[in-house]
Structure formats: C-alpha cells, structure tokens
A and B are shown apart, each in its own frame.
Chain A
Amino acid sequence: MICRRILSQLNIVAQCRQNNLPLWQCPQLLFLFISFINIFSILFSYFIGQHYITDPLLVSLIVILIAFVLFILTIIITWSFERLIEVARLKTEFANIISHQLRSPLTNLKWLIELLISQKNHLLSSQAAEYLALLKENSQRMEDLISNLLLMIRLEQGEIALNKEKISLVNLIKKVLYENEFFAKANHVLIKFEPPNEELPFCITDPIQLKLVLDNLINNAICYASPSLTGKEGKVTVNLRKENNNFYISVTDNGVGIPKQDQKYIFQKFFRSANAKKYQTAGSGLGLYIAKLLLEKMGGQIGFISQEGQGSTFWLKLPIRY
C-alpha cells in the first residue's frame, strides 16, 4: 500500500495531469529538474575546476549561467504555485456560488411545494397534487445532486466539520429504514433490521453525516434488489452489532451484485459500475465516494463483498468511544 503510494507520487506525469497543468509548469517536475541541474552543476564545476583552473573567469561564467537558469526555473515554479493557489481559490469560490446562488432558489422551491402539498385538501385537485409531488421529487433530486457535489468538494478540501453527538445507532437505523420504507414498498423489496443482541453504548458521531452514509447504502441496496431487476423476491437486511471495539453495521441485499472487474473502482469518484448504468440511469457515482470520505473522517472504515447475480453486503465500522 505504502509502496503503491510512493510509486504514484513518483509518477509525475500523472500528477501533472491530475492538477491540470502542462508539464513545463508542473512543480513536481520542475523541482526534479532543478535537483538534477544542481547535481550536474556541482559535478561540472568540479570537472571544470580540475581541468581549467588556469582560467577562473570561465568557471565563474559557467556558475553565473547555471545560477541564471536556476533563477528562471524558480520563477516558473513560483508561477506554477500561484496558478495552483488560484485554481484552489476558484474552486472554493465556485463551491460558494453553487452553494448560495443555485441552492437558494431550489430550497425555496422545495419549501413552497411542501407548503402547497400540506394544504392540498383545501386548495388543490388530486391531479394538481400529483404534479406537485412530481415537482417535489425532481427538485429534491436536483438538490441532492448539488448537495453531493458540494459535500464532495468540501470534504476534499477538509472544510467539513463533524458535529458530534451521543446517539443511539439503533434509533438512527430505524429512522433511516422508516424513511426508506415507502421507497422499498414501491420497489417490492422487503427490509429487515437485525438489532444487536446486547445493549450497545451510545455512538459519538455526527448523526446527520452518518445518516447520509446509511441512507445511501440502504437506498442503493433497495434499488439493486428490486424484483424488476433480479426476477426474485427483493430482500435487504440491515445488521447492527458490536465487533471488538467497533460498532459494525452491514447492509445486505440479494440484488444484482457488482461485476468483479468493477469492484476495485467502486469507491472512486464518479464511478458507476456496468450494472449501475444498465439498471439505474439516474445517479452521479458520488454516493459511495462520499460515504468513504465521511467514514474516514469519522475514524471508521467502509467495505463490501459482492457477487454478481447474488447480491452485495456493504459494511461499515465505527470506533466505540466513551
């Protein structure tokens, strides 16, 4: 793992591409280049000194020339860093613009639709109520996508703080299951919760962010366990237990599973497996990536086992803290 990380650090071309910079502006390459020039200039000066000691002016000129080249390279490196800083600044600014200018009208829309729906008995025909429900669903989808993008940017920038509270995981899971009940019924999937055999301590974590992770896993499980995709009865089981010094939560479905060749990419950003694209056209490929970032921030772990055609089990571990 560490070797792979070191090797990836040495892959300068890939790093430059990742930062969206041309090679000649890539700080990693330029630093490497300067190091080589330094070594070369020392050896060269030594060589010149040995053989042309009778002409110190020439040695001085060569040293001045090398110093000048190094000076130019340092300027280019400084520019490169300035550009990287500018890119980071623009990214933050972009996130803030999306955050306010795009989300505000969407939130307003969502709340006004909620208000109208709550009054449907008095003001609206059943058809209008149905259209409103569709509007609400679509505005929610758009908001979820924007929220996911923002959350991803902020997590990557380390800008998300966890608001830790003492919570009961049993209650949190029940809440997520309750909220997904309608969706499960609509997909003809049976959800079962297996609570722990013993009483668990409170979990100290951010309930909103953990709920987001659980909601994502359970929602995915329901989607891919639907009988319309598998031709068999859809089942999702959520299990909670204590394992060593961790809370262990697993979400198991008997759905379509993940093709073996896609499994190593499943937590990558924007990745959607062949099955996901085949069965669910909607989706951004951000849910599991965000879940992983959040779990890591919480000091936990996330993983899965899956077999195509048989189903998947996604698990997460959170440390027990007192």
Chain B
Amino acid sequence: MVKKILFIEDEASLQKAFGEILRKEGYEMTSALNGEIGLKLAQKMAREGKLDLIILDLILPKIDGFEVLKKLKEDEMTKYVPVIILTNLEGLKDVGKALELGATTYLVKANYSLEEVVTKIKQALSVK
C-alpha cells in the first residue's frame, strides 16, 4: 500500500521539490502551507486512515509548528502518527521542546542534503 505523507511547510518551492522526489520514491504527498490547514488536513487524513507520516516546519503562519505538534499529540486520531520536524531552528530549547511534545525526529534543514532528508523520511516510514 502506498504510504501517505503530510508535508506542512510554508515554502511552496520546497513543497514542490519534496512532492516530486517523494512521488518518485513511491509515496503520496499532501501539502499544507500553514499550521491551521496542516492540522485540519492531518486530522482528516488520520480519520480516513490515510496518514503515515507528518513532516512539520516550526515557523508557520497562523498556528506555529509547536502548537500544531501539541494538538496532533493531544488528538487520539493523530497522536500515533510519527512527526519529523524539518526546520532551521536549532536552539537547544526548540529541539528539547519539540522532542518533549512528541516529535519522532528533529532535522535542522541546513545540516542535511535533500537526499539525506529523503533517507530519514524512508527510515521513519519503515519503522512505522
């Protein structure tokens, strides 16, 4: 069965790039440009049983990534979906807060190549 990924990221160019790569890898990707839509989409997809992984940026319009993560982990439908944080915030407090809230993996964008991020996504999906 095709694994489904929700990508919550406000950079449209990145969404496009990841969409292309992940589709080539055989995954299905849905994207959201802000936290509010992302949260709604996550809840909808989880209810329908169509959500295997969430990739979440932290600086997002409307609702920030921390708030989205908190709400995802409070919701019975979405709390077991692994969440990869993909951000450029690398302060200790940010990393600690995200992991405490239940993020599976924390990736600082600048530290990884596109290929490495895709490998991390594959790993997260294979663990599930």
Contacts and interface: CB of A to CB of B under 8 A. Distances in A.
Q: Do A and B bind each other?
A: yes
Interface in A91-126: 96, 99-100, 103-104, 106-108, 110-112, 114-115
A147 interface: yes
Nearest to A99: B88
A160 B91 CA distance: 7
A159 B20 contact: no
B110 A111 contact: no
B60 to A, nearest CB: 12
Given A115-B21, A159-B92, A108 B110 contact: no
A160 B95 CA distance: 11
Interface stretch (B10-18, B36-44, B45-53, B75-83): B10-18
Interface string A140-157: 000100110010001000
A96 B13 contact: no
Interface residues of B, number: 19
Contact of A115 (B11, B89, B92, B114): B114
Interface in B70-128: 88-92, 95, 109-111, 113-115
Interface of B: 11, 13-14, 17, 20-21, 59, 88-92, 95, 109-111, 113-115
Interface of A: 96, 99-100, 103-104, 106-108, 110-112, 114-115, 143, 146-147, 150, 154, 159-161, 208
B17 A107 contact: no
Contacts of A108: 11, 13-14
B110 A115 contact: no
Nearest to B86: A107
Contacts of A107: 88, 109-110
Nearest to A208: B111
Contact of B95 (A103, A111, A161): A161
Nearest to A212: B111
Contact of B89 (A100, A114, A147): A100
B110 A106 contact: yes
A166 to B, nearest CB: 18
Given A114-B115, A115-B114, A208-B111, A100 B17 contact: no
Contacts of A111: 14, 17, 113-114
A176 to B, nearest CB: 15
A208 B13 CA distance: 27
Given A103-B110, A108-B13, A112-B13, A96 B89 contact: yes
A103 B13 contact: no
16 contacts: A96-B91, A99-B88, A99-B90, A100-B59, A103-B88, A104-B11, A104-B88, A104-B109, A108-B13, A111-B113, A114-B114, A147-B110, A147-B111, A159-B92, A160-B92, A161-B92
A128 to B, nearest CB: 18
Nearest to B57: A104
Nearest to B109: A107
B10 to A, nearest CB: 10
B99 to A, nearest CB: 11
Q: Which 7 A-B pairs have the closest CB atoms?
A: A107-B109, A111-B114, A114-B114, A103-B88, A115-B17, A103-B110, A100-B88
Nearest to A144: B110
Contacts of B95: 161
B109 A103 contact: yes
Contacts of A143: 110
A160 to B, nearest CB: 7
A164 B4 CA distance: 32
Nearest to B93: A159
Nearest to A117: B114
Nearest to B14: A108
Contacts of A147: 110-111
A114 B17 CA distance: 10
Contacts of A112: 13, 17
Nearest to B58: A100
Contacts of A154: 90-91
A112 B13 CA distance: 8
Contact of A99 (B17, B89, B114): B89
